[in-house]
Amino acid sequence: MFIDFKLDNLENFPKELETLLNRHKETIDNIAKNATSYQDGIKITEDLNEELDRFFTPLSHLNSVNNSEATQKAYEESIPLLSSFSSYISQHQELYEKIKSLKPNNELEQRVLDLEIRDFKLSGAELGKEDKKELESINLELSQLSNNFSQNLLNATNDFELIVEPKDVDGMPQSEIEPAKVEIDGETKYRFTLQMPSYIAYLTYGPNREIREKLYRAYNTRAPQNQEVIDKLLELKLKKANLLGYKSYAEYALQTRDASGEEEVLSFLNELLDSSIPQAKEEIAQLKAFAKKLDGIEDLAPYDTAYYSQKLKKELFDFDDSQTKPYFEQNAVLNGMLKLTGELFDVEFKKAEAPTWHESVKVYDIAQNGKTFARIYFDLEARESKRGGAWMHNWQSHYIDAKGKEQLASAFVVANFSPASKEQPSLLRHDDVVTLFHEMGHAIHHLFSKVPERNISGIEGVSWDVVEFPSQFLENFAYEASILKEFGYHYQSKEPIPQDLLDKIKDSKNFQAALFILRQVEFSLFDFQLHQKLYKGEEVNKLINQIRQKTALLKVPDYVRFEHGFAHIFAGGYAAGYYSYKWAEVFSADAFFECLKDGKFNKTRAKEYKENILEKGSSKEMSELYKEWLGRRPQPSALLKLYGIDK
């Protein structure tokens, strides 16, 4: 049913992978020569894809969550093998011709064939022999460069620490300084790092402006060697796009997106920008006035914004995230989220005993009407061997295999929440709760699939710019009082979270919402324009500074090199696709308001959402699935409504 997570062959892993890939090549060659139907062609390749994912995912996952020299070595030696194999398949002319000749038996099979043919074309199947060789070389180097970018960033993050005195943490919430406490020569000191929980804690609550600036500078000047990696990545991506007949990497990337073209993306982003700027200017003026009044700050800087924003938020709403932390104990939040998901979508989560990669990992099987159909793993606490951020990683996929047997889905949800200590359990900020709901939204999109074709089941085949739709949809529920009440109990007294605190979470939700949109639009415009033509060296930084003339309402220090840490687009697959977050949010906001009318859950709509969106994978384009559900496209005005912005 489910395979066990285990990886005890790191030293021999690349060799075993090579053996597996050689066997797959033989099978592919046989399909290309002898397949006569969809069943003995595509179905067999789906089984091969599943087998490869089941074998390789534990290594790629472990390299992210329990990084070591051994995982790095095995991973780095495996990348060229996978890249070469991927190129072998994508440039297998005989296989391409065979797939084009196969006849589908239904609409789902037609969809699989259409996507296969499209992907073959984008992978260079129609290129000449020499161009195919060049494309293979480019793809291999791109894979290695992305890994180098990520590794440089992880090393730089782990290499930095700042030891501060007790006076430098004066007034900070106990839950934020407890994890930082260290004993040095018999004296109590506090250690802050560039790991996200630690970095955010001091930038948000740290009273010493000089230390905030030191941390900010260290964070925004990490991994300067990544500039060379970026230059090579951009050069190779453009070369790849040109080779395949596209004028830019952005144009190439949009071939697999929901958005119809470059102009539509830029118009969408600029419309969001224009709609948000007036309110954002009011928000930054309010923050400047507050910082001046409170501490006489005349020159508010980016390393001040989180600190004064939380103080302003507390004054306006008598609220900051530290107030919620004692009420959001990690286990309680997780159990509450599973209960909500179960009730909303009529499923049940059962604790499962299964091998994992770390003692803190929790495993659950998911059932409906007594029948288990999926498995989910949660790895939620920060540790030095884990890369930063939060994500969902799919492992097994739901589909019907070539022998007619139903295969079940599994996935990992990973986060970097403050770990438990001797003094207290793992406590979550409300932002962390939102993050957990977000990644859970990704997970159920993959796990709830009922599509029998693997290549379009779960998140497989879903367009990049709508893949965030289900995750953003679910995170919106993390602001609803009726849900937070389910798991909001003080970790010591067991008192329920007070109603006034729940009101403040909701009321403060859109605090500085326009500034947030500006920041997201800044990242999106930078990413998209960066991939519309070739930028090199300082031109990359000049581009983002040019965009900041409209999006950044505070002067950004000259030393900031945000791009050196922009792993989403240089190591995470979002190149020319960061706009997807906002694009998908139009879908999620519109769907959320359909499922929550006048503060009440519409379970009928939630059931329809599960049946029409979550269970359908990428059996059709998301816009089509959405229209089949509600009879219309999602309304962009719903996004502004979600943020409380009056256009």
Note the pLDDT tens digit of each residue in 76-85: 999 999 989 9
DSSP state of 498: P
DSSP state of 427: B
637 vs 333, higher pLDDT: 333
How high is the pLDDT of residue 496?
97
Take residue 637 and report the two structure tokens written for it. 């005005």
pTM of the model as a whole:
0.80
Q: How far apart are CA 62 and CA 64, in angstroms?
A: 5
- The CATH-assigned architecture of domain 326-512+581-642 is Orthogonal Bundle (1.10)
26 is catalytic: no
Using CA atoms of 268, 270, 274, 280 in order, give the dihedral in degrees to the nearest 10.
Answer: 100
Give yes or no on whether 1-90+92-126 and 326-512+581-642 have one common fold: no
CATH superfamily of 1-90+92-126: Endopeptidase. Chain P; domain 1 (1.20.1050.40)
How many other CB atoms are there within 10 angstroms of residue 278's CB atom?
Answer: 13
How high is the pLDDT of residue 570?
96
Q: How far apart are CA 239 and CA 644, in angstroms?
A: 43
Long-range contacts for 245-249 (Cβ within 8 Å, ≥24 apart)?
A: 248/531, 248/532, 248/533, 249/531, 249/532, 249/575, 249/576
Q: How far apart are CA 416 and CA 221, in angstroms?
A: 22
502 band by pLDDT with thresholds 50, 70 and 90: very high
- Which bin fits 171, alpha (ψ -120 to 50), beta or left (φ > 0)? left
Statement: residue 285 has pLDDT above 60: yes
Domain ranges of the chain: 1-90+92-126, 161-220, 326-512+581-642
- Which one of 439, 453, 585, 594 is the catalytic residue? 439
Q: How far is CA 252 from CA 15, 371, 543, 581, in A?
A: 34, 43, 21, 19
Mean pLDDT of 421-428: 92
The tens digit of pLDDT for each residue in 447-460 reads: 999 999 999 999 99
Q: How far is CA 585 from CA 39, 174, 337, 414, 446, in A?
A: 38, 35, 21, 22, 18
Give the rounded percent of residues in the chain with a pLDDT score beyond 90. Answer: 87
The tens digit of pLDDT for each residue in 56-108 reads: 999 999 999 999 999 999 999 999 999 899 888 887 899 999 999 999 999 99
